[in-house]
Chains A and B, each alone.
Chain A
Amino acid sequence: MDIKLHEVEYRYAAGTPFERMAITDVSFHIPSGEYVAIIGHTGSGKSTVLQHLNVLLKPLKGEIDIGSRTIAAGRKEKNLKEIRRRVGIVFQFPEHQLFEETVEKDICFGPMNFGVQEEQAKQRARDAIRLVGLPENVLERSPFDLSGGQMRRVAIAGVLAMKPDVLVLDEPTAGLDPRGRLDMMEMFASLQKKNGLTCVLVTHSMEDAARYADRIVMMHKGRVYKTGTPRDIFSDRDSLTAIGLDVPETIRFQHLFEEKLGYPLKHLCLTPEELAQEIRRLRGDRQ
């Protein structure tokens, strides 16, 4: 399911003295099946954009195509349920939204709300819990007896159980330890590759954006500052530092190495593994 934003504008508290521009003239495309990262520092409008993707906020100007639906400013929109099912949002600290007595009930809540029968919802809960890498016996437990990392996975399972086409992730690994973070990022990447999910990741981590994204949207002061592939975006360090961001550590290291070398490497390396291989190859060439 493609999502396209056309010149979207949103203001908080519109029409009151407290009106504040959040985003304006925002246009970009999330092609079906792609992994798109949205980067930008705090207050750049990332979260406001994200809430438009399943119409929790409606544009005050412009329009959004979500699959075959168009959400346009100034129109009453009905029957948004199907959009909300197909675009699943995992908010920051989603474990704060757990509320049921058991993990199973919590995961079933979403699908049943969308009309799935109980038996089928339970089957989905079993599938979802496996997808997030937890053992099935967790289903019987209270979500509140689990560790923070496990609770996070349960909350994500709840979104996956609705079988969304698009998974929107707002800083999904904040507060997790490094291994938990890696496991979770690998899980999203595999859902995108193997299950054909479209992924939209809002992140502060340039490393994650470089490693996983097909396309990056840079936000600054409520506008789209630039879009492109990770190689496009990260080959222009000046435009990143101009808005308070920077290149991933790998690329910083590559630049340091190139200073010694006196000339640039053939291409920009997006992961440390890639850079290590490139340096080995270069040594081979020079010997």
Chain B
Amino acid sequence: MGEMVISIQDVSFQYPDQTAFALQDVSLRVQRGEWLAIVGHNGSGKSTLAKMLNGLHYPQTGQVTIGGLTLSEDNVWAIREKLGMVFQNPDNQFVGTTVQDDVAFGLENNGVEQTKMKERVLTALQKVGMTAFLNQEPHHLSGGQKQRVAIASVIALRPDIILLDEATSMLDPLGRDEVMDTIRELKEKEGLTVISITHDLEEAAKADRVVVLNEGSVYTEGTPQEIFQMDQELLQLGLGVPFSVRMSQLLADEGLLLTQRHFNEEELVRDVWTLNFTK
């Protein structure tokens, strides 16, 4: 087992004037360098959990520990240095008039000196492949480019963990791939820990581990392979399954022979072919 960077222990949370708990007895652990996907239907508690990891909410019972610090109002700023967030709407997270100003904003807030700041802005933009756009106005960028700048703004602060709150849901397929490739590279090269809250099953399928939330509680967790074997159950939870799993199911329903529910299109084609067309 690697080093734990996040530990959530029996956390519950209830919004004012609501009878149901938004989160109830949630416990989770995240290892350094891991990519964890959190999936769940609308209202399952995903966003509440995200806000709790960044000190925008505090647990009413239980505790959240990030990088060895137990979240409280006293150390929330230290925790925000460790965990950076990228939000859903690319247009809601720009403050600067140019790409480089925007990335510099967070550093300025953290009192980084001018000379160091310049270098860190440049390095961050290099890591997301956006140095060609230094002096561009952010609103002229495509959705995928905007999200890459948002990611640069986060990594310029050198967090250990990056949390993506449906960060690709407003992008076109190309923009989505662009952002996911950037994150994967950062994870591998910089050893970043990634938590992605998502409805995109193909995205969840690429994570190391998937946690399913349902009505404020952890329903189950496992590798993507384990999780997507429970296809019918996932549909009942308001979730879906990746395309190849769904296609496996439909082919099996039509009476075609398969060794298992496949996770990968090439493997599925091979399996369908070998068991049904070569005899």
- Interface set of A (CB-CB < 8 Å, partner B): 41-43, 145, 147-149, 171, 174-182, 204, 206, 244-246, 249-250, 252-253, 256-257, 259-261, 272-273, 275-277, 279-280, 283, 286
Contact = CB atoms under 8 A, between A and B. Distances in A.
B142 A42 contact: yes
A272 B170 CA distance: 24
B199 interface: yes
A275 to B, nearest CB: 7
Interface stretch (B66-74, B97-105, B151-159, B249-257): B249-257
A149 B44 CA distance: 12
A180 B42 CA distance: 8
B172 interface: yes
Contacts of B59: none
A279 B254 contact: yes
Contacts of B84: none
B43 A253 contact: no
Contacts of B171: 42, 204
B254 A174 contact: no
Contact of B239 (A148, A174, A179): A179
Find the residue from A171, A245, A252, A283 having the highest chain B CB count within 10 A.
A283
Interface stretch (B24-32, B109-117, B119-127, B264-272): B264-272
B254 A280 contact: yes
Interface of B: 17, 40-43, 88, 142-144, 166, 169-175, 199, 201, 235, 238-240, 243-244, 246-247, 250-251, 253-256, 265-266, 268-270, 272-273, 276-277
A174 B270 CA distance: 34
12 contacts: A42-B172, A178-B201, A179-B239, A180-B238, A250-B243, A253-B243, A256-B265, A256-B266, A259-B269, A276-B247, A276-B256, A283-B256
A175 B46 CA distance: 13
B170 A174 contact: yes
A179 B172 contact: no
Q: Is the interface of B mostly helix, strand, loop or mixed?
A: helix
A178 B175 contact: no
Nearest to B266: A256
Contact of B169 (A175, A250, A275, A280): A175
Nearest to B89: A93
A176 B199 contact: yes
Find the residue from A175, A177, A272, A275 having the highest chain B CB count within 10 A.
A177
B237 to A, nearest CB: 8
B43 A147 contact: yes
B43 A279 contact: no
A41 B269 CA distance: 30
A257 B269 contact: yes
B127 to A, nearest CB: 23
Contact of A177 (B17, B41, B143, B268): B41
B166 A177 contact: no
Given A204-B173, A244-B174, A280-B254, A179 B235 contact: yes
A260 B270 CA distance: 8
A276 B254 contact: yes
Given A177-B199, A178-B240, A253-B265, A279 B173 contact: no
Contacts of A149: 42-43
